[in-house]
Structure 1
């Protein structure tokens, strides 16, 4: 098996972005005309890392990283839920701290399920589309691949999360407003960072001596071989 110099660092950064953005999503923020959860500020980087992984190392390597992120996100979610469920000491400070913790980080099963499901579908869709486009374009037009895959992946991610987490809780008009704000911001960030993506992809291909094409890849997301 070929050894890569930077694959482990990209994996670590990908998982860190995923977990931090999931915690940050407990706060809703407003920036100009956009209303979105705090995790939206960082989460688009997970898709940029996904683009790097698939473009340089191929779908199979990306698949392993996506599953790694999924299980570590599940671990962090269950840990926060367990801590929230455990009783705090009866003193006033501990009770106040526990109430604040539970309000911000306590496990809400519907939102936790929405986050995991949206991440899984969105990331695999992003990786699949990029891998297919790379073969179809014979490695040309990187921006088409990164932005095109993000349009699909982020669209599915955002729609699934909002529908599973908040359908029937929020009014449909609010769901649509938040979807548009999130989607435009996420895709816009991908477009804005395209020159950096080009530079990093070029560096990694030279440093790793790798530019993988998924011509004979089995795209089953459950195959880890």
Structure 2
């Protein structure tokens, strides 16, 4: 690969990393708003089945990006993006913490009470999210490369979906469990949010499979990659 192609591959890698970090940080800031993701009022275990947090919206993007990076750049680069996302999330917590303790002036459009009600739980949310995120992302990367080895680089849809489904269940279980333990969410919502969140992520994983194929196709075409070939940025 020429130096020009390596520089282009490096820029794309950095762009994917930026999208990954943005999606991760934003998901932790907006998690307190809930919505129906399917237009039917169904209850399971006393909870609305299709109610999920808006924080879940950008989260599947992170798994699509890590799968794409795993496929094109390799396991090491995917793990680097995950670790970078951790530092970005922790830094966002520090910013929110400082902003929360700084007293608002009397004529501030947003007073201390309103700001704390919206962002005050961000630290607990990020703590729970980071624990779930660490487990889920590393599970996703490990399983992805396991299936890549087993299938010898074929059947992209299989490793993309199987790795994401299991890792998303780990993620959903971990984050909902921790949020309930820290009393950010009531236990009455646990079963419903677990099932609803997992079903939503499975649905999104199925929907993003064509985008995964498109991304891999564009990379292979742009950089003349063979099947199962990865880009070495070093």
What range is the shorter-chain TM-score in? 0.7 to 0.9
What is aligned with 1:130?
144
1:41 Cα shift?
Answer: 1.7
SS at match of 1:139: coil
CA contact under 8 A between 2:28 and 2:122: conserved in structure 1? no
The 5 A counterparts of 1:166-177 are 166-167=180-181, 169=183, 172=187, 174-177=189-192
Partner of 2:97: 81
Equivalences for residues 29-44 of structure 1 within 5 A: 29-31=35-37, 32-33=39-40, 34-44=50-60
Which of 79, 93, 98 is the aligned partner of 2:112? 98
Q: Distance in 2 between matches of 1:76 and 1:187?
A: 28
Residue number in structure 2 paired with 1:61:
77
Q: CA deviation at 1:207?
A: 2.2
Go from structure 1 to structure 2 and tell me whether the alpha carbon gap of 1:19 and 1:109 turns closer, same or farther (over 3 Å shift): closer
The residue aligned with 1:190 is 205
User: What's the CA shift for 1:108?
Assistant: 4.9
Question: What secondary structure is seen at the aligned counterpart in 1 of 2:52?
Answer: strand
RMSD (Å) for aligned C-alpha atoms: 2.2
SS at match of 2:116: helix
Distance 1:212 1:105, change over 3 A: farther
2:205 matched to 1:199? no
* Match of residue 161, structure 2, among 147, 152, 162: 147
TM-score, with structure 1 as normaliser: 0.86
- Provide, for residues 54-74 of structure 1, a one-character-per-residue CA deviation record: whole Å limited to 9, x for no partner: 111111000111111110011
The answer on whether the counterparts of 2:30 and 2:54 sit within 8 Å (CA) in structure 1 is yes
Gaps of 5+ in 1: 214-225
Structure-1 separation of matches of 2:133 and 2:192: 20
Rounded to whole Å, the distance in 2 between the matches of 1:145 and 1:55 is 10
- Counting only pairs closer than 5 Å after superposition, residues 21-36 of structure 1 correspond to structure 2 as 21-31=27-37, 32-33=39-40, 34-36=50-52
* Mapped contact 2:29–2:122 kept (Cα < 8 A): no
Write the distance in 2 (CA, Å) between the matches of 1:108 and 1:70: 15
User: Mean alpha-carbon deviation: is it higher for 144-153 or for 104-113?
Assistant: 104-113
Instruction: Give the match for residue 15 of structure 2.
Output: 9
* 8 Å contact from structure 1 (residues 78, 107) kept in 2: no
Number of matched pairs:
212
Q: Normalized against structure 2, the TM-score is what?
A: 0.83
CA contact (8 A) 1:54 1:127 kept: yes
Distance 1:121 1:143, change over 3 A: same
Deviations 1:31-85 (A, max 9, x none): 3341111111221111111110111111100011111111001111221122112
2:194 maps to 1:179? yes
User: Does the 8 Å CA contact 1:114/1:160 hold for their aligned counterparts?
Assistant: yes
Give the deviation of 1:198 after TM superposition. 0.5
Report the 3-state secondary structure (helix = DSSP H, G, I; strand = E; otherwise coil) of the residue aligned with 1:29.
Answer: strand
Q: Displacement, 1:201?
A: 1.3
